[in-house]
Amino acid sequence: MADPTATETAPSITVTNLTFTFPDHSIGLRNVSLNLPPSSRTLLIGANGAGKTTLLRLLSGKRLAPTHTISIAGLDPFKEHLSGVTYLGLEWVLNPIVRTDIGVRELLRSVGGDAYPERRDELVAVLDIDLEWRMHAVSDGERRRVQLAMGLIRPWRILLLDEITVDLDLLSRSEFLGWLKGETERRACTIVYATHILDNLASWPTHLVHMSQGRVKEWGEVEKFDLGKGKETGNSVLGELVLGWLREDLVERGPRNGKVGSEGKTYADGGLGGYGQEGKK
């Protein structure tokens, strides 16, 4: 089957003065504004509880954002029909069905693998998947590879990744990120990737977004942050840049005071000091 995104223009992502409040009145995001251009690859950086998961879920349309605050290719991802948005988070491997005695071939077929055989075979090769695997007998890292293949077989226009490579070994992760970079160069698609793992990433992103306590502290094209030339130096500079950000965030945030949320932590309206618990859709 032909790639339906082959002749389209890659979508941009625009966020304008986005403030998001949970039902318990805790603040998840505060006055977030971003403009991520078509075909960009953005690293979303921040400590646990910075608001990254909340932002990604709002971008994916899994949560309702205030009117006129999020636009993807000119559309509201929650209110309007918006095809081609894929969100991949950590919840999938916790689904009991992927720990049962079911085969990889069946899983890939169930999400359209037969309709996109070239993409299926490419992802199987890139992620080093054995089609004879049974899901009850593989490791978490191998389950993660299958999840990625399942989520990416159908061509997407916006890809939102939430710490999705945490279980991958170094080689698998490198091959996968190289494939994603190639996707944005071959097709009309845009990626936002939240991660704490920065190894071998200096040459991957086009943009960086630094989040802390539900806010975007700074963002822009990679060139703005002067990561330096050369692969080895660039990776070292990227790591030092992010470490500096996180140390500053920790001082600004202060002690947690024993208040711990479960997944995406949120910040109370008064001074951004307390945590609420992110609900799930």
User: What average pLDDT does this structure show over 241-255?
Assistant: 87
Mean pLDDT, rounded, of the chain: 84
Are 170 and 153 spatial neighbours (Cβ–Cβ below 8 Å)?
no
For the entire predicted model, the pTM comes to 0.83
Is a pLDDT exceeding 60 seen at residue 35? Answer: yes
Looking at the chain, the whole-number percentage of residues with pLDDT higher than 90 is 54
Which residue ranges make up each domain of the chain?
Answer: 1-84+157-256, 91-154
Half-sphere exposure of 148 (CA within 13 A, CB side): 30
Q: Given the structure tokens 């920065």, which residue do they identify?
A: 198
Is a pLDDT exceeding 80 seen at residue 151? Answer: yes
Is a pLDDT exceeding 70 seen at residue 259? Answer: no
User: d(Cα 184, Cα 1) in Å, to the nearest integer?
Assistant: 20
User: What average pLDDT does this structure show over 252-261?
Assistant: 64
The model's pLDDT over 8-18, given as tens digits with 9 standing for 90+, comes to: 688 899 999 99
Question: Which of 171-180, 194-203, 239-248 has the highest mean predicted lDDT (pLDDT)?
Answer: 171-180
Rg of the chain over all Cα atoms, to the nearest angstrom = 19
Q: Is the dihedral of CA 141, 245, 199, 226 positive or negative?
A: positive
The model's pLDDT over 169-188, given as tens digits with 9 standing for 90+, comes to: 888 898 999 999 999 999 99
- 1-84+157-256: in CATH 3.40.50.300: yes
Q: Is the dihedral of CA 45, 227, 71, 195 positive or negative?
A: negative
Are 63 and 57 spatial neighbours (Cβ–Cβ below 8 Å)?
yes
